[in-house]
Structure formats: C-alpha cells, structure tokens
Homo-oligomer: A and B are copies of this chain.
Amino acid sequence: MFENKERTSLEELGEFGLIKHLTDNFKLAHESSVKGIGDDAAVLDFKDKQALISTDLLLEGVHFDLSYVPLIHLGYKAVQVNLSDIYAMNGVATQITVSLGVSSKFPLEAVEEIYKGIELACNKFNIDLIGGDTSTSRQGLVISVTSIGYAAKEDITYRNGAQEGDLLCVSGDLGGAYVGLQILEREKQIFLENPQIQPDLEGKDYIIERQLKPEGRRDVVDLLAQLKIKPTAMIDVSDGLASEILHITNQSDKGCTIYEDKLPIDPVTYETARELGLDPTVCALNGGEDYELLFTIKQTDYEKLKNDVDISIIGHITDKNSGVKMISKSDVVHELKAQGWNAFKN
C-alpha cells in the first residue's frame, strides 16, 4: 500500500514522539475532558451524570484481515464498535482511549492511516481522544479501544429490564456485514489463486460498507430521546441477533417470540446470500457485526415508533417458560440459539 512513498521508521520517533505526532490534530471539545493525552491518566468531570465505560480488543487475523481491510477503515471501525456499546446503554459517548500494538517494521505512514480513521470517527461522532498506549508488537496488529460516555441515571438502559408484553425492536437491517465479509473472503481466495483477477465487488457496495465501515447508531439514541421513549432494555448487535436476544431474555428472566417475516434484511444482503448459497434469515440471526440497536419498548410506546421506517418491530417479550422462539414464514416454530461469533472458535 505504501510501496511508492517514503517510509518513516517508528524507531526514529519513539513512543512519545509517535503519540504526539499522531494525536496533535485531535482537540478536546467536551467540557468533561479536563485533561487528555500527556499525563499518567486522563481526567474527566461528569458532575451529576453517571459515567459509562466500554472496552474492545481487536486482533489481526481474528477480528480483521489486513489483506482486504484498509487501515483507515480499521481505525474507523475500531472506534465505532466501541461507541456502539455506549449507545446501547442509551448514553452519549464523549471520550475514547486507543492503545495500539504495531510491528516496528510498520512504517509511520501506515499508523497514520489508522489514526486518520480514528480521527474521522471522532469528528463525526464528536468524541475526544484522551489517552492510550503505543507499543511495538512482535506479532500482528493489536488495537484496544476504551470508550467513555455518560447519561442521566434515569436514562441508562440495561439489558435486564425487558417486561412481558414489551415489543422487541431493531434499527436498520441485519446480516449485511456478514454477507459483505463472505464476499471479501471469496474475492481474497480468487486473488490468492490468481493475482491477475481484479476483485468483483460490482453492486455489493452496500454490504461491503456494512462490513468495513459500520456506524454506531447514535441517531437512534437521539430519536428515542426525541420521541420520549425510554427502552426497557437495549443491546447492540455485535455477535448476531439471536445471541443478543438471548442476552436480553436471560438477563431479564423472560422469553421472547420473533417473526421471520419481520426481520429487516436489505435486498442486496438477501440476493447476495442466495447467490452464495446462504439462508438470508440465518445470516440475519447469526451474522453479527451489524452494530444496530436491539431494544424493547412498552406497548404504549408503539404509536410513537410505528411509522419510523428505520425501526422494525420484530417480536415481543413473553414469560420465561414460553422460551425464545422464531415463527418462520411457513409458521414453523424454531427455538433460537446463540450461534453468533464464538471468540474461541472462529
């Protein structure tokens, strides 16, 4: 990627020089960011709000493949997946820390690309970068992001608040990120077998973008506030819809019924899944990495949301003994199981 450019070695700069170089453009915008990078710890002041903290570790070869993930997208996504967890608490994300482990053979320009992506995400979502740790890695690229946000105590939405009769809602559409990944993997294999063949991503832009450039749904948090809806439970879809539904039902000690024909699947996702011999419903249920918000609302809030095209009502909460089920298009009842991403299998 950097063959024709001059390379600057990381050794020359050293850790502190590198951090300064990479973070000079990042300005603190939040009143709560009292002190950012440059001391032993960052200092935050939330006054009467409660702070939210979330952290994610991304490892090369496990969470991303540098052969088809551009570094700028990687930086962007690393931030987004983390912010998504703060939004899933019905909070406002305000700060992040970023720790990076990179090979000392990595040129500065490559690390800069990652930081460009981080900066894009920070600017777009109004986030202050307040600290981190940068180090050489003997193995692959390692990115650890911790995000911090806040919310008023009464607005925070946990996973355990779903009540019988609540409606189960999901934002956007599902399965796209997973099907996009299958296309990238397919093209990688073709390229490995014959490097002369250019990747064929024609018409797949939407699902490729779902995989490479997911967006945390801060807009959904804003929408809910605007509509004066406080979800009874909420989670983001990172491991797959089925797995997330089970988190809500387990923690709320409830059951749930969803309807296959209500699952929001984009036409490109649907067609491409078929093309690849995959069941679009299975992709939506188990694919993961959609970073949509899954939440439950009281039935009395139905009128406020029913006309929003970006929110789908896919089922309802039942008593625990009724189990967690999907009614298929042909009216067959399936028990839902978490077949999402197992961090120790994939």
Contacts and interface: CB of A to CB of B under 8 A. Distances in A.
Interface of A: 9-11, 13-15, 18, 34-35, 38-48, 50-57, 59-63, 84-86, 88-89, 91, 95, 97, 99-101, 104, 130-140, 142, 144, 146-149, 153, 156, 158-160, 234-236, 251, 342-346
A55 B89 CA distance: 22
Contacts of A343: 14-15, 134-136
Contacts of A41: 52-54, 85-86, 88-89, 91, 147, 149
B51 A44 contact: yes
Given A14-B343, A55-B99, A57-B135, 6 more contacts: A18-B344, A34-B50, A35-B156, A54-B131, A60-B139, A136-B343
Given A46-B51, A54-B42, A62 B137 contact: yes
A149 to B, nearest CB: 7
Contact of A43 (B51, B55, B95, B346): B51
Contacts of A344: 9-11, 13-15, 18, 104, 136
Copies in the complex: 2
Contacts of A156: 35, 43
A344 B42 CA distance: 24
B40 A135 contact: no
Given A42-B52, A91-B41, A104-B344, A138 B47 contact: no
Contacts of A97: 53, 55, 146
A85 to B, nearest CB: 4
A55 B146 contact: yes
B104 A345 contact: yes
A57 B141 CA distance: 12
Contact of A62 (B34, B130, B138, B159): B138
A42 B158 CA distance: 10
Contacts of A134: 343
Name, among A54, A149, A236, the residue most crowded by chain B CB atoms within 10 Å (CB to CB). Answer: A54
A295 to B, nearest CB: 11
B39 A159 contact: yes
19 contacts: A15-B342, A38-B159, A38-B251, A40-B84, A40-B88, A40-B234, A41-B85, A41-B147, A41-B149, A43-B50, A47-B48, A53-B130, A56-B99, A57-B144, A62-B135, A99-B144, A101-B142, A104-B345, A139-B140
